[in-house]
Amino acid sequence: MTTGVDGPGRPVLPPILRGQKALVTGANSGIGKATAIALGQAGADVVVNYVSGRETADEVVREIESFGVRAYPHEADVSQEDQVVAMVARMVEEFGTIDIMVANAGLQRDAALTEMSLAQWQKVLDVNLTGQFLCAREAAKEFKRRGVVPEVSRSAGKIVCMSSVHQIIPWAGHVNYAASKGGVLMLMQTLAQELAPDRIRVNAVAPGAIRTPINRDAWATPEAEADLLGLIPYRRVGDPVDIADAVTVLVSDLMDYVVGTTIYVDGGMTLFPGFATGG
Ligand code: NAD
């Protein structure tokens, strides 16, 4: 069957997350969807958060259930404190606990600085940065309460912040987005430092250009895709499964000693490709 994470040459994931409970925000589209499915394929039970589009969330749930693990959809806006608190509380009730929080939900509201409204600025900061703070906080409370259960995982919990190459690459015309992801970098590192003594691992994954609805304009026409490939030394646009697989391995015990790091999954976009032929 097609799993939504199948791809040419992709090895089948072994059940490296068996018995773990994961929550993925923004899990009914793009990177979040592929990540939720990959975590399920690796043996985790998964909460599929969405803010709108119940039908697509239900499809993701069905695909995860096809691996013989549990899943359910949960509607919540990650920028709303009461909704995030209720989402994690329900998960603890239904699944018993949480082991993995993937704070993935994000959006863009692009405009040149002089055209950007305060509402555009605030919306992106609220979802991309405050949303990650709220999700990390609620997950960490449960990780600390429960502590390490060695039969399940070597750590008490894992938080993955979905960042972007724009946590370090400035991006004209997208100051709200770049500022939010720059904030995610320091959020992640500070939480990693604060929570490591509790055996909680906080890391980030920073995608480059991945084919999803968020950046359709950048790859939807052959001309746009050719321009984009000029920024990618590996000369292919990424697929959601590229990110999903990196997250899956990162939250597994194979990566137990990885704490406070950003894994760039970007085909080399952060290698200053403009300098490849001189400079
Ligand atoms: P996408 O638009 O396909 O998915 C974003 C998801 O977030 C959607 O499910 C959307 O409904 C959800 N969402 C938006 N606001 C929300 C809210 N308030 N509460 C809960 N969910 C909300 O885009 P994507 O490319 O899959 O993006 C996922 C993450 O990856 C984002 O954080 C994005 O910044 C990051 N990212 C994407 C790329 C890329 O090239 N696609 C590159 C770098 C980083």
Ligand 1 center to residue 197 CA distance, Å? 30
Angstrom CA distances, 121 to 143, 176, 214, stand at 32, 5, 17
Distance 108 CA to ligand 1 centre (A): 8
CA distances from 264 to 37, 113, 167, 242 (A): 21, 27, 10, 11
Expressed in angstroms and rounded, the spacing between residue 166 Cα and the centre of ligand 1 is 14
The closest-lying atom of ligand 1 relative to the alpha carbon of residue 240 is 26
Of ligand 1's listed atoms, the one at least distance from the Cα of 105 is 7
List the residue whose alpha carbon is closest to atom 33 of ligand 1. 106
Mutate to test the pocket of ligand 1, among 80, 180, 214, 239 (most ligand atoms within 8 A of CB): 214
Positive or negative torsion for Cα 204, 209, 210, 213 = positive
Please state whether beta strands 157-162 and 71-75 pair in parallel, antiparallel, or not at all (unpaired). Answer: unpaired
Residues lower than pLDDT 70 in the chain? 1-4, 279
Give the integer Cα–Cα distance in Å for 119 and 142. Answer: 33
Residue nearest to atom 17 of ligand 1 (CA): 77
Quick check: CB of 105 below 6 Å from ligand 1?
Answer: yes
pLDDT tens across 123-161, in order? 999 999 999 999 999 999 999 999 999 999 999 999 999
Q: Cα Rg for the chain, rounded, in angstroms?
A: 18
Tell me, yes or no, if the pTM score tops 0.85: yes
CB proximity list for 264: less than 8 A, separation 6 or greater:
165, 206, 208, 270
3-state secondary structure the chain: CCCCCCCCCCCCCCCCCCCCEEEECCCCCHHHHHHHHHHHHCCCEEEEEECCCHHHHHHHHHHHHCCCCCEEEEECCCCCHHHHHHHHHHHHHHHCCCCEEEECCCCCCCCCHHHCCHHHHHHHHHHHHHHHHHHHHHHHHHHHHHCCCCCCCCCCEEEEEECCHHHCCCCCCCHHHHHHHHHHHHHHHHHHHHHHHHCEEEEEEEECCECCHHHHHHHCCHHHHHHHHCCCCCCCCECHHHHHHHHHHHHCHHHCCCCCCEEEECCCHHHCHHHCCCC
Q: What is the pLDDT of residue 8?
A: 74
Write out the two tokens for 106. Answer: 């994000």
Q: Is the CB of 77 under 6 A from ligand 1?
A: yes
pLDDT digits (tens, 9 = 90+) for 265-275: 999 999 999 99
Q: 57 C-alpha to center of ligand 1: Å?
A: 14
Q: Residue with the nearest Cα to atom 3 of ligand 1?
A: 30
Listed by start position, the domains of the chain span: 21-265
Percent of the chain with pLDDT over 70: 98
Ligand 1 geometric centre to CA of 78 (Å): 12
Instruction: Phi first, then psi: give them for residue 102, nearest 5 degrees.
Output: -105, 105
Instruction: Check residue 2 and give its pLDDT.
Output: 45
Tokens of 85: 């608190």
Q: Which CATH number fits domain 21-265: 3.40.50.720, 3.30.930.10, 3.20.20.70, 3.50.50.60?
A: 3.40.50.720
Q: What's the CA gap between 60 and 138, in Å, rounded?
A: 24
Whole-angstrom distance, CA of residue 140 vs CA of residue 155: 12
Residue 50 a catalytic site member: no
Residues 251, 100: contact at Cβ < 8 Å?
A: yes
